[in-house]
Structure 1
């Protein structure tokens, strides 16, 4: 997939949340979307139809801060999901075969404070959660219940993101204030490496190639690093007016990634070229949360408002521009593009010659008789 062939249009504008959005998560097949907000609601959307599928209200647990899909297999990407709230509680919902709706499977008190981030590893059926300065790894049993496997020692820093690395064998943890990136081996539970970046980490994610780290730096844009991160590979600069974390999302299997914006225009960048690919004009408000996915049939970007001025989600899909490679045209093709081919022109000339011969050598009275005795021009001899 190349960004040069993509221009985007807003396919749907989704409105239901009454307070700023905190998280958007598209399913791997780009058919469903999870959205969580400060209104204490987790909404499930049908992306193709642009309609609300299900509402889950957890207002007593506070804002919905994080969410993640937990597919049983790549063929069933929307079988279950988890989301976390401001009170530290994590909920797991599973899809029913009868109606396709989602029912509560389990809920646990995962952290003492706000759940900052969630990640899922399908290879080992594990869930990672971050909150109160620590990251935890949970094993998911056959019934969909969570059992704690390991937990990091708590630190006095906010964790902005957690991701699984190396097919789920390691956990990547990124801290806001300390600028630190940590890789933790899961089995056995041991630290692999740690690196400190030059900037704070507003948000981070693994690149679509699985080998790079994309960091929203809270200073001047987005930096990309190899893993383990050392010096930046590229810096994608854009103006930052507000000191708020902007979520960044990579497109799996692609060099593209999208980042939120405080000027209402999320941006799509290309890691391969190092250039800005597209600007999505969401509206007039802060667009802090974004997500992007490349499904079987489509490439979808979701952007969400993060302030009270304009609470809406927009679904963007590409308008594909197909450019033909110019080829030398044969003489017959050129004539055809003008409206008539050489073969057709030759037949018309032959017919005209035959008609002229007929008129010259046939007596005038016979011609008149053939034409129903219509008066004939006198100049024809």
Structure 2
């Protein structure tokens, strides 16, 4: 009975581990706080940009630094946002776009066979005193929407290998914290930080299509590519989950806060979870089916600010990257293995049988120790008294 209880506990522990994110590595090197993360589409590369005015390219499989991207002329300033974009739809090339604190956009490319990224182009999209706040890329129409810290909005389009400006507009007295394409690329949504206003603009003409006001400010906003839902840092008591094109939240994901810092909250596992940063060294993982907490991950101490989180779902793993803007300013990688229904059940049963066999052998050996110890002692005595050995001794 005790053995069965122990075995079931061991198996249940194994299943719990399979359902949890575990820390797989820590990436060090940013001399100053990281501001933004981006995974490529195959879960093999993480790009991180920071206040140290460079982008670091990390090999996620080996957890090591591969490359450092920086402007030799020092024109970038801090790196404010990074994103892998799908410039060539049917291509084995990674395209990395980044925005900087001095109003620049830069694009880097790397084929799967190449060892490193190479700069494709750079563009002074805003003045040097106005940082790039956010951008979004629409691969279907090859448009790039960009916002600045001082409220400028620009729409660019890729033509003959270069981005050209379609229009420019401005938000008054508000920081456009996020921009997303909507309605199959026909509209762009602009999220204003202080006012909590979400405005929709026509991508061709910039004319306003709709204006909606939330009841909270917008510290951070992310959009699920699968469901269209939007997750917003309300800068009060956590993150609000909004259905697509609605201003009444489905619910709030509580994250205690004592400091007025914006924190990232992103979707993960193809829209099934939300991962939220905090101002006290924790990452909160919520299930979105029931809006209940699933797990808390520790990154630093109770005073460390986890402002940046990012997720990725590809191949056989779900990944979370978290970064602190205090303390060591390190990056941690968390992983949860994807459970394939057929393979997992078979694999789980195989693992249980292996554990069971090992425990059975151990217990059988222990229970029968008196018999086999006596047997070996008798064998030792018989061998020592063997006439052959005695004759050899003479």
TM-score class normalised by the smaller sequence:
0.7 to 0.9
Moved more, 178-187 or 213-222: 178-187
Secondary structure of 1:266's aligned partner:
strand
**Matched-pair contact (CA < 8 Å) for 1:207–1:252:** no
- CA drift of 1:26 comes to 1.1
Match of 2:287 in 1: 270
Residue 62, structure 1, aligned to residue 77, structure 2: yes
Seen in structure 2, the aligned counterparts of structure 1 residues 87 and 221 have a Cα distance that, compared at 3 Å, is same
Contact 2:316–2:338 (CA<8 Å) still a contact in 1?
Answer: no
For residue 254 of structure 2, what is the aligned residue in structure 1? 237
Further displaced range: 91-100 or 200-209: 91-100
- 1:76 is displaced (CA, Å) by 4.5
Question: Who is 2:151 aligned against?
Answer: 133
Give the 5 Å matches for 1:272-351.
Answer: 272-284=289-301, 285-307=304-326, 309-319=327-337
Query: Contact (CA 8 Å) 1:69, 1:77: kept in 2 or not?
Result: no
Question: For 1:340-363, what per-residue CA distance to the aligned partner results, in whole angstroms no more than 9, with x for missing partners?
Answer: xxxxxxxxxxxxxxxxxxxxxxxx
Please state if 1:41 is matched with 2:54.
yes
Asked if 2 retains the 8 angstrom alpha-carbon contact of 1:93 and 1:105, the reply is yes
> Using the alignment, how far apart are the partners of 1:188 and 1:252 within structure 2?
36
Structure 1 residue 134: Cα displacement: 2.2
Shift of 1:15: 0.7
Q: Distance in 2 between matches of 1:164 and 1:11?
A: 34
Q: Which residue of 2 aligns with 1:122?
A: 139
Distance 1:197 1:240 in 2: 20
CA distance in 2, matches of 1:313, 1:55: 15
**Larger-gyration structure (1/2):** 1
Q: Does 2:202 align with 1:185? A: yes
RMSD: 2.6
* Cα contact 1:69–1:120 (8 A) shared by 2: no
* Residue range with higher mean Cα deviation, 11-20 or 116-125: 116-125
Distance change >3 Å, CA 279–CA 164, structure 1 → 2: same
User: How big is the shift at 1:223?
Assistant: 0.3
Structure 2 SS opposite 1:174: strand
Q: Show structure 2 runs of 5+ residues with no match.
A: 1-15, 347-356, 361-394
Question: CA contact under 8 A between 1:208 and 1:251: conserved in structure 2?
Answer: no
1:289-327 per-position Cα deviation (integer Å, ceiling 9, x unaligned): 0111111322111111112x11111111015689969xx
User: Which deviates more, 151-160 or 129-138?
Assistant: 151-160
Per-residue deviation, 1:203: 0.4
**C-alpha offsets along residues 95-143 of structure 1, whole Å, 9 cap, x if unaligned?**
2576342111211111230111122211122222110202222112353
Matches within 5 A, 1:122-161: 122-131=139-148, 132-143=150-161, 145-161=162-178
Which one has a larger percent helix, Structure 1 or Structure 2? 2
What 5-or-longer segments of structure 1 have no aligned partner? 326-335, 340-381
Note closer, same or farther for the CA distance 1:72–1:108 as it changes in structure 2 (3 Å cut).
closer
2:81 match: secondary structure = strand
In 2, Cα distance between equivalents of 1:72 and 1:94 = 10
Q: Distance in 2 between matches of 1:319 and 1:253?
A: 14
The structural deviation recorded for 1:188 is 4.8
Contact 1:259 1:268 in 2 (8 A): yes
**TM-score, structure 1 normalization:** 0.79
Structure 2 distance, partners of 1:5, 1:73, is 36
| Distance in 2 separating the partners of 1:245 and 1:27 | 25
Tell me the equivalent position of 1:81. 96
Asked whether 1:32 is paired with 2:45, we answer: yes
- Asked if the contact 1:172–1:182 (Cα under 8 Å) also holds between the matched residues in 2, the reply is yes
Number of paired residues?
324
Q: Equivalents in 1 of 2:226, 2:116: separation in Å?
A: 33
Q: Quote the Cα distance in structure 1 between the aligned partners of 2:186 and 2:115.
A: 32
Q: Which residue of 2 aligns with 1:197?
A: 214
Distance (Å, rounded) in 2 between the aligned partners of 1:103 and 1:320: 33
**CA distance in 2: counterparts of 1:78 and 1:33, whole angstroms:** 15
CA apart distance, 1:190: 2.6
Write out aligned runs for 1:12-31 (5 A). 12-31=25-44
Partner of 1:344: none
1:102 aligns with 2:121: no
- Describe the superposition over 1:238-275 as per-residue Cα deviations: whole angstroms up to 9, x where unpaired: 20111011011112632212111111111111222111
